[in-house]
Structure 1
Amino acid sequence: MTLTVQPHRESVGLKAGRLLIDGQWGPAREGATWTHHHPATGEPIGEFASGSAADVDDAVAAARRAFDSGAWPSTRAGQRIALLHRYADLLRAHADELRALQALDNSVPLSFGGIYATSVGAAADVFDHHAGWVDKLGGQTLPPYQGGDHLAMTFREPIGVVAAVLPWNAPFLLFAQKVAPALAAGCTVVLKPSEYCTFSVLRMVELLVEAGLPDGVLNVVTGPGDPVGEALITHPDVDKVSFTGSWAVGKRIVEASAGTLKRVSLELGGKSPALVFGDAPNVGLAAATVVGAVTMGLSGQACVANTRALVHREVYDEFLGAAQGMAAAITYGDPFDAGVVSAPLINERQLERVLGYIERGKSEGRLVTGGERLGGELAAGNFVAPTIFADVDNSATIAQEEIFGPVLAVVPFSDEEEAVALANDTQYGLGAGLFTADVQRAFRVSRRLRAGTVGINGFQIEPHLPFGGFKQSGLGREGGQSAIEAYTELKSVFLPLTEEMM
């Protein structure tokens, strides 16, 4: 039997995607469209407008007008708070619909769409969290440093027009992490979803319009990175770029920002380690957690996934046995099937890339399980079996480069010093995990790891907790106070209170 998702397309009521510019939905200027093919079946799912540089010009101009002469940047805090809360409630009310659209976009199964970090509920919480910051973005009144009677004050003001560029793998959370703080701060936005995950994002935008967002405050241009993304990140009227994606594109954004000194927030790649010590509370659970992060849901296509397992030699064999068991339990297929827990790779290019790394890994480690493309009824999709390599040297390609697929490299270590050295021996620094029953070791090691987020015997993303990376994993943070402040400029104001100071 050939796998198909077409019946779900009809039941979800998928419609053609359009651009949103200055409050109006419509086609691209040149009438171009993009046909999205489902990664699990190869079937054409639907079409959406494929924009051009001219469409980006229109969208940025609308956002510029809405910022420079529109009401949103100066909207009273109470009104802005109410709108963001209203939108969060709409997201929760439409959670099932949005998860179904995501399954048609990137094939993340419904069974995984309820996991908090990838859920609609998490996105709603992010909007609620940032709504709480709207009336707290205050500055300071400072005492005079020199003589005289005067006031020295600071104010936080919205940064301006924001270009928000989304990846395809976690549309709900990443839409919220960029759009929520931008709107809360009073910015206007031009949004570019990934061409591989557009329909769910467009529905999120529709709900935001329904919540009452004024025209021009949020504009959407869909289409591929070239020309849409390139035109957006280089546009002279864009004040800030917020991007989540690959290191290579992040580097291009930094280069493009130089001409106008755009503010930039980047959440880039990772090669996150999981350190499993000999005194881990439950080695089997540690193995299941690590392998699950690399294989379940997104099938390893998550930058923060622990794709390196650094395991103490005392529990090395136990870890590998449990890891193989977890890998064998992963199921693939129709994302609407409750028994399916993982997705295919997003497209054929990524499939070929991952298979190439696996072939390279066969000469760099011992292949324990997996390593092949899945066939049978899954043959038309981009499915790769959960793959585990043991006895990998940390300098190996599969231990150093981000594969973005269901591939785990297991590296042995002998003591804490070696574990920390191996963990930090990477160009990345996004996330890390460690498993130990020793509280002192947990704090000691977590402080020494060069990573933006460290999980101790577990890992979670929280709306109020900053998330981002060290080294080449990015610039800036998303989540919490630091995120909304990144969408503001700090202004100092001096006011003399006597004529002597004037």
Structure 2
Amino acid sequence: MTLTVQPYRESVGLRTGRLHIGGEWIPARDGATWTHIHPATGEEIGDIAVASAEDVDDAVAAARRAFDAGEWSNARAGTRIAVLRRTAELLRTHADELRRLQALDNSVPVSFGSVYATSVDVAADAFDHHAGWVDKIGGQTLPPYQGGDHLAMSFREPLGVVGAILPWNAPFLLFAQKVAPALAAGCTVVLKPSEYASFTVLRMVELLFEAGLPAGTLNVVTGTGDPTGERLITHPDVDKISFTGSREVGGRIVEASAGTLKRVSLELGGKSPALVFADAADVGVAAATTVGAVTLGLSGQACVSNTRALVQREVYDEFLAAAEGMAAAVTYGDPFDPAVMSAPLINGKQLDRVLGYIEKGRAEGARLVTGGERLGGEYAAGNFVAPTIFADVDNGSTIAQEEIFGPVLSVVPFSDEEEALALANDTRYGLGAGVFSADAQRAFRVSRRLRAGTVGINGFQIEPHLPFGGFKESGLGREGGQSSVEAYTELKTVMMPLGDEMM
């Protein structure tokens, strides 16, 4: 049986993706397009416009005009709140349509739409949450320090034009994590979605304008890293770049920001550890949770996934047995089939990369427990790799240190708490971590010593009101909650005399 998603493409009514600049949907200036190949079937799904450098210039100019005109940046709090909350309502109303678009984009199964971090609900909640911040973005009034009678005040003002660059793996969450706080703060935005997940984002943009967002406030330039992304990150009239993606591109953005001292927020890679202690309440649950994070839904293509399992020797064999059983239960295929649990890798390049890491693991002496191969048969046209577990992994080896971004778990044994912490922190990354222990004091103690931005104790959840980001080379800044809104503002101090004398 040959897999196909063409009937779903037709039922959704997929159209060629266009740019959105200054309130209008338009093709690329030179007519260039990019064809999206579905990762599960190898079929051509649809075309998107490839914005040229000149198209990006037009989008930035539209965002600048909108910001300076002040229809959104100077809007009353109630106006912004109403638009953001209406957006949340529309996202929930169109949730089924959006899940289907995502399945056509990146092949994340529609069955996985109930998992919060990859659901429409997380995007709607993020818009709701940031709407609540709009009328609370303020500064301080302080007493004079010296001199005459005067008023000393600080204000938070919108930063300006934001360039927001999204990856393909979680368009609902990442669209909302960037766009909602930027709009809540009063900024205007030029958004570049990944070419591998543009159709979902374009529909969400339509819903924002349906909610009442003024023309020019949000502009969209679809396309590839070069020319589209490159022009956006180097544009002199962009005040801030917010990026989620690879460490390599993040480094390029930091370099490009130096010329104009752009503000930068980066959420980059990870090699997150899960520390499983012998006193875990249920080692089988810990194994299933860890394996699920690198096999279900996104098939390990998530930067915060626990791709290293550090397991205490007393329960090492028990963990491996449960992990192997979990991996064997994962199902693949048509992302619209409710029984399918996991996605393929996004493209052929990533497929080759993951298979190369698997071969590297074998060559460096890790013990292959299960998986390690590309799936054939009815799955041969897609980029499917079987859930892969390596045991007895040296924590200094390539597969334990480098981000693979695929369904590969490295299991490393440890003897005691101190060794576990040393192994966990022995990485250039620091995005997430997990601790499995029934000892509340140990779990808390270990979580405080882990060099990671988010630590889950006996479980993990991304929530819109919590700051999310990484230590070390996993990024700069945080998204979510108060910290994300403040990241899209500048602080201004104003001093005003209250008498005739000068200060």
Instruction: Give the TM-score range, shorter chain.
Output: over 0.9
- How many residues of Structure 1 are paired with residues of Structure 2 in the alignment? 502
Q: How does 1:441-456 map to 2 (within 5 A)?
A: 441-456=442-457
Corresponding residue of 2:385: 384
Q: How does 1:134-149 map to 2 (within 5 A)?
A: 134-149=134-149
Question: Equivalents in 1 of 2:83, 2:374: separation in Å?
Answer: 47
Q: How does 1:184-333 map to 2 (within 5 A)?
A: 184-333=184-333
The letter for the 2-side match of 1:258 is: A
Deviation per residue, 1:227-269 (Å, 9 max, x gap): 0000000000000000000000000000000000000000000
Question: Equivalents in 2 of 1:157, 1:70: separation in Å?
Answer: 12
Shift of 1:391: 0.2
Question: Equivalents in 2 of 1:427, 1:144: separation in Å?
Answer: 45
Corresponding residue of 2:26: 26
Q: What SS does the corresponding residue of 1:309 show, helix, strand or coil?
A: strand
Question: Equivalents in 2 of 1:297, 1:134: separation in Å?
Answer: 34
The letter for the 2-side match of 1:256 is: A
Corresponding residue of 2:475: 474
Shift of 1:499: 2.4
Corresponding residue of 1:40: 40
Question: Equivalents in 1 of 2:265, 2:114: separation in Å?
Answer: 28
Shift of 1:501: 2.8
Shift of 1:500: 2.6
Question: Equivalents in 2 of 1:367, 1:178: separation in Å?
Answer: 39
Q: What SS does the corresponding residue of 1:388 show, helix, strand or coil?
A: strand
Corresponding residue of 1:89: 89
TM-score by length of 1: 0.99
Q: What SS does the corresponding residue of 1:362 show, helix, strand or coil?
A: helix
The letter for the 1-side match of 2:146 is: Q
Question: Equivalents in 2 of 1:438, 1:70: separation in Å?
Answer: 54
- Structure 1 stretches of 4+ moved >3 Å: none
Structure 2: unaligned runs, 5 residues or longer: none
Shift of 1:149: 1.1
The letter for the 1-side match of 2:227 is: P
Question: Equivalents in 1 of 2:405, 2:53: separation in Å?
Answer: 30
The letter for the 1-side match of 2:382 is: G
Shift of 1:165: 0.2
Corresponding residue of 2:124: 124
Q: What SS does the corresponding residue of 1:338 show, helix, strand or coil?
A: coil
Shift of 1:145: 1.2
Q: How does 1:150-169 map to 2 (within 5 A)?
A: 150-169=150-169
Corresponding residue of 1:113: 113
Q: What SS does the corresponding residue of 1:117 show, helix, strand or coil?
A: helix
Corresponding residue of 2:62: 62
The letter for the 1-side match of 2:322 is: A
Q: What SS does the corresponding residue of 2:20 show, helix, strand or coil?
A: strand
Percent identity over paired residues: 82
Corresponding residue of 1:336: 336
Question: Equivalents in 1 of 2:212, 2:440: separation in Å?
Answer: 49
Shift of 1:68: 1.0
Shift of 1:372: 0.1
**RMSD between aligned residues:** 0.6
Question: Equivalents in 1 of 2:198, 2:148: separation in Å?
Answer: 58
Question: Equivalents in 2 of 1:369, 1:279: separation in Å?
Answer: 26
Deviation per residue, 1:427-475 (Å, 9 max, x gap): 0000000000111101110000000000000000111000000000000
Deviation per residue, 1:180-229 (Å, 9 max, x gap): 00000000000000000000000000111111111100000000010000
Question: Equivalents in 1 of 2:501, 2:198: separation in Å?
Answer: 61
Deviation per residue, 1:361-413 (Å, 9 max, x gap): 01230000000000000000000000000000100000000000000000000
Question: Equivalents in 2 of 1:271, 1:479: separation in Å?
Answer: 21
Corresponding residue of 2:501: 500
Alignment of 1:75 with 2:75, yes or no, is: yes
The letter for the 2-side match of 1:206 is: E
Question: Equivalents in 2 of 1:119, 1:148: separation in Å?
Answer: 57
The letter for the 2-side match of 1:457 is: N
Corresponding residue of 1:406: 407
Question: Equivalents in 2 of 1:436, 1:363: separation in Å?
Answer: 33
Structure 1: unaligned runs, 5 residues or longer: none
Q: What SS does the corresponding residue of 1:255 show, helix, strand or coil?
A: helix
Shift of 1:147: 3.8
The letter for the 2-side match of 1:239 is: D
Question: Equivalents in 2 of 1:38, 1:127: separation in Å?
Answer: 29
Shift of 1:497: 1.2
Question: Equivalents in 2 of 1:51, 1:83: separation in Å?
Answer: 28
Question: Equivalents in 2 of 1:331, 1:65: separation in Å?
Answer: 50
Q: What SS does the corresponding residue of 1:227 show, helix, strand or coil?
A: helix
Q: What SS does the corresponding residue of 1:74 show, helix, strand or coil?
A: coil
Question: Equivalents in 2 of 1:497, 1:310: separation in Å?
Answer: 63
Q: What SS does the corresponding residue of 1:459 show, helix, strand or coil?
A: coil
Question: Equivalents in 1 of 2:147, 2:220: separation in Å?
Answer: 52
Question: Equivalents in 2 of 1:303, 1:239: separation in Å?
Answer: 26
Question: Equivalents in 2 of 1:390, 1:363: separation in Å?
Answer: 13
TM-score by length of 2: 0.99
The letter for the 2-side match of 1:337 is: D
Q: What SS does the corresponding residue of 2:306 show, helix, strand or coil?
A: coil
Shift of 1:69: 1.7
Question: Equivalents in 2 of 1:316, 1:222: separation in Å?
Answer: 47
